[in-house]
Amino acid sequence: MFDQACVMELINALRNELGTAYVLVDQDTLPWSKDWMGVYHWSPLAVVRPSDTHEVSKVVQLCNAHNVAMVPVGGNTGLTGATQAQDAVMISLDRLNEIHRIDPDAMTAVVGAGAILHNIHEAADAHDLIFPLYFGARGSAMIGGNLSTNAGGSNVLRYGNTRDLCLGLEVVLPDGAIMDVMSELHKDNSGLNLKHLFIGGEGTLGIITAAVLKLYPKPLAYATAMVGLRDLRSALPLLNRLQRETGSGVEAFEFMPRRYIERHLQKTDGAIEPFEGAHEINILVEIATTRSTDLEPETDGTPRLTAILERSLADMIENDAAQDAVIAQNENQRRTMWERREAAAEITLGEKSSVDTDVAVSLSNVPVFLERISPIVAEIDPTGQEFYIAHLGDGNLHYTYFASSDDLGLRDQVMEAIENVVLELGGSFSAEHGIGTSKLNSMARRKNPAALALMQKIKASFDPKNLMNPGKVYPTENG
């Protein structure tokens, strides 16, 4: 419990530093007092909105001097309860939202941590470039949050995850020191590459205030299709064939089972079936090109890129390796395909007894995982129901189990069974959403003990008072 006088003293000091309008308390903190899913609720001591790195540093120094916990927050779209801030000061980066500079020749962007992902996309687009990190929450998630969760999304198979898209960082450390490693270099072996500790660090080691990002040439054209398969094992041959024929031009390869399609149809106004008939395995595939020769029409007038996709799919259908395919004929049809895929979080929102996981296995083990886990969970909870979707091109499955009751013991059993199968297959229990608080038990049970102990030592040496987003990522003895 806090000494109220100490809290008031801190709040007054924060107001002096930032101005009263940027130190929110009581009712004004409500928009920040729950997570996106509405699963976690908390009451922060205050939400502060510094305007620049120096103000972030001042805030951190004040919280540190008053021994008050701090929780950095961006768009608050994280899915693991990592911004819970009971009795802590939340430090919102939303005012550090500037896109400082785009260097079109070096293909880099220098941005503030509060820049919204969609705005970075727009800024890059103005130079015919892309920042290739795409997922449903891009309209509110901020780059500081993307980096801190090392977000993945739909294009990891071509461009890597956020870690791969970052050249440099500026970070305010837990004592308020400003660490400037805003390198624009592709090569820099001057000691440990410290930025990687903060990427995926979920705000537990420091607060990212700015970043240097890699940009890529904007594709001149996309060819996007929905493909219906009978067997998930036919998916990888399709992916590999398209990679070969397009010079590794596959941008996204996403898997939606029939149950997903049905739920999307039920829950989304205006949703349409992807095909005339129903298929168990539905793949959204997108290829892209930056070469103008790929736009040249073939004899029937079809641009070369689309023709490659058409030929591969027609050939697979003829050989019974695929059952159906629909190629988007215009941007509207492409958007419809993507909207179906990107509705995943919304259409599962509010399912009370769901066991949510975000696992990774090697690409060829995705079908093996599903074959093994189904009978196991059915035995634990025969009236529960599986629900999943996958970034199949990188082996990341969002496997959810709608348990038949809210019983914690039952849900834990399901979770442990999933972890068991994932580890048997050499996978990870956390592919892209991070640990936050929701995966602390998995972290305690499944992370290699030596790796976990080293992480805890790093945390203690950066943040000896445990004030920077405490209670997240590193399990304690109590879980």
Ligand X SMILES: Cc1cc2nc3c(=O)[nH]c(=O)nc-3n(C[C@H](O)[C@H](O)[C@H](O)COP(=O)(O)OP(=O)(O)OC[C@H]3O[C@@H](n4cnc5c(N)ncnc54)[C@H](O)[C@@H]3O)c2cc1C
Residues in touch with ligand X (CB under 6 A) = 36, 71-79, 82-83, 93, 113, 135-137, 141-142, 144-146, 148-149, 151-153, 202-203, 207-208, 345, 432-433, 469, 472
What is the nearest approach in angstroms of ligand X to the Cβ of residue 93? 4
Q: How many CB atoms lie within 10 A of CB 76?
A: 21
Of 91 and 313, which has the nearer Cβ to ligand X?
91
What is the nearest approach in angstroms of ligand X to the Cβ of residue 442? 16
What is the nearest approach in angstroms of ligand X to the Cβ of residue 447? 17
What is the nearest approach in angstroms of ligand X to the Cβ of residue 44? 12
Of 113 and 229, which has the nearer Cβ to ligand X?
113
**Torsion angle (degrees, nearest 10) of CA 160, 162, 163, 166:** 110
Of 254 and 294, which has the nearer Cβ to ligand X?
254
Residue-by-residue DSSP string for 89-122 = EEEE-TT---EEEEETTTTEEEEETT-BHHHHHH
| Buried residues in 121-135 as b, exposed as e (16+ CB within 10 A) | bebbeebebbbbbbb
Decide if 289 contacts 249 (C-beta within 8 A). yes
Decide if 254 contacts 154 (C-beta within 8 A). yes
Number of residues that make up the chain: 479
What is the nearest approach in angstroms of ligand X to the Cβ of residue 376? 26
Of 71 and 414, which has the nearer Cβ to ligand X?
71
What is the nearest approach in angstroms of ligand X to the Cβ of residue 206? 7
What is the nearest approach in angstroms of ligand X to the Cβ of residue 75? 3
What is the nearest approach in angstroms of ligand X to the Cβ of residue 373? 21
Region class of 327: left (phi > 0), else alpha (psi between -120 and 50), else beta: beta
Of 74 and 228, which has the nearer Cβ to ligand X?
74
Of 208 and 390, which has the nearer Cβ to ligand X?
208
Residue 301: CB partners within 8 Å, gap ≥ 6?
Answer: none
Of 124 and 377, which has the nearer Cβ to ligand X?
124
Of 78 and 257, which has the nearer Cβ to ligand X?
78
Decide if 112 contacts 100 (C-beta within 8 A). yes
Q: What CA–CA distance (Å, rounded) separates 386 from 370?
A: 10
Q: Where are the alpha helices (DSSP H) in 359-447?
A: 366-380, 408-424, 440-446
Residue nearest to ligand X (CB): 145
Q: At what angle do helices 235-245 and 304-318 cross, to 10 degrees?
A: 150
End-to-end CA distance of the chain: 21
Of 322 and 387, which has the nearer Cβ to ligand X?
387
Q: What CA–CA distance (Å, rounded) separates 137 from 25?
A: 27
What is the nearest approach in angstroms of ligand X to the Cβ of residue 78? 3
What is the nearest approach in angstroms of ligand X to the Cβ of residue 294? 27
What is the nearest approach in angstroms of ligand X to the Cβ of residue 247? 25
Helix (H/G/I), strand (E/B), else coil: 385: strand
Region class of 250: left (phi > 0), else alpha (psi between -120 and 50), else beta: beta
The edge-to-edge listing of strands for the beta sheet with 207-214 is 99-103, 108-112, 207-214, 166-172, 178-181
Of 113 and 284, which has the nearer Cβ to ligand X?
113
Q: What CA–CA distance (Å, rounded) separates 162 from 146?
A: 7
Of 200 and 228, which has the nearer Cβ to ligand X?
200
Residue 239: CB partners within 8 Å, gap ≥ 6?
Answer: 250, 253, 285, 363, 392, 393
Residue 461: CB partners within 8 Å, gap ≥ 6?
Answer: none
Q: Sort strands 46-48 and 70-73 into parallel, antiparallel or unpaired.
A: unpaired
What is the nearest approach in angstroms of ligand X to the Cβ of residue 272? 20
Q: What CA–CA distance (Å, rounded) separates 146 from 32?
A: 18
